[in-house]
Structure 1
Amino acid sequence: MRAYAAAFVGRAAAGHRLPLDYSPASLRIVDFLVDGLRKGGADHERARGALLGLGAYVGEVLVRRAGATWVDFDTDQRAYFGQPVGVRMPDGRVWNPLGRVHNRLAAGGGPEESLHTFYLTLHGRARRVRPAVR
């Protein structure tokens, strides 16, 4: 999935100069891009490649910034999430970033489906240890 995310960022940066830097704040851009797909009339089938790239990007933000790791879902998880892969957080919770992107497209872009808010309220993130102030 890391390769899908990198390819997506390469295409987005080259064609549109989008600041996709794997930061949590960049997930606002992903929200905007998914909303643009919906407003442009794209359905899940027509937007399959873009949704895969966006979902891989969201997952890679979780890997790089929240301490997650990519995992292949087992049979039950695939049935439940409807996706073959997801991420496991440091506390063991499993999340489905590809599905979250699909949900954003289907939900009409409401705040409850924001990918940026998803990150900010995500359970199981690694906490950064701040050095003691002297």
Structure 2
Amino acid sequence: MGKQAGSVTCAAGMRGRAAEFVTGITARSRLPLDYSVASLRVVDFLIDGLRKGGADQDRVREPLTGLGAYVGEVLVRRAGAVWVDLDDTQRAYFGQEVGVRMPDGRVWNPLGKVLNRFGSSGPEDSLQTFYLTLHGRPRRTAA
């Protein structure tokens, strides 16, 4: 069975997956998920809420996948990344089938970062901090 563009496991389907997630969650609440860097703080809050609610990772796999797609799409829109299908070595390392490639060629794993955030409560796993300290994104220069 081949990968389909709408599949979560295919880079071509990740933008749509993020949009579906945003549409679904904002239909129920007024969360400011606008693909801004600041919205990653909301993602941290949502993941913390899932964890504090006592859900196990398997039960919340769909929302976590949606949040991972959203984080990746923020990297695409704000940091110049592109969605990529990971090769066998990258899949083994990251435990995911898709990731993002930054303008400098580095590959990052937003889905795995979301899972790491869910598994810990430490500030070191903040997705907003991840973006702000991300290697490979263009830096603003003083004009």
Q: TM class by shorter-chain length?
A: over 0.9
Q: How many residues align?
A: 130
Instruction: Select 2:48's aligned residue among 24, 28, 35.
Output: 35
| TM-score for both structures, normalised by structure 2 | 0.88
What's 1:79 paired with? 92
Could you list the runs of 5+ residues in structure 1 that have no partner in the other structure? none
The corresponding residue for 2:127 is 115
1:110 Cα deviation from its structure 2 partner: 1.0
Classify the secondary structure of the residue corresponding to 1:86. strand
Unaligned runs of 5+ in 2: 1-13
- The one-letter code sitting in structure 1 at the alignment partner of 2:47 is V
Q: Which deviates more, 73-82 or 120-129?
A: 120-129
Where 1:87 maps in the other structure, the secondary structure is: strand
Identity percentage over the alignment?
A: 74
Query: Residue 18 of structure 1 aligns with which residue?
Result: 31
Amino acid at match of 2:15: R
CA-based RMSD of the aligned residues comes to 1.1
Question: Which residue does 1:126 correspond to in 2?
Answer: 138
SS of residue paired to 1:24 = coil
Q: Is residue 126 of structure 2 the alignment partner of residue 105 of structure 1?
A: no
Give, as a single letter, the amino acid of the residue that structure 1 aligns with 2:98. V
Counterpart of 2:103?
90
The one-letter code sitting in structure 2 at the alignment partner of 1:20 is L
Q: Deviations over 1:71-119 (max 9, x none)?
A: 0000111111000000000000000000000000111x21000000000
TM-score (norm 1): 0.93
Alignment-derived partner of residue 54 in structure 1: 67
Quote the offset at 1:127 in angstroms. 3.2
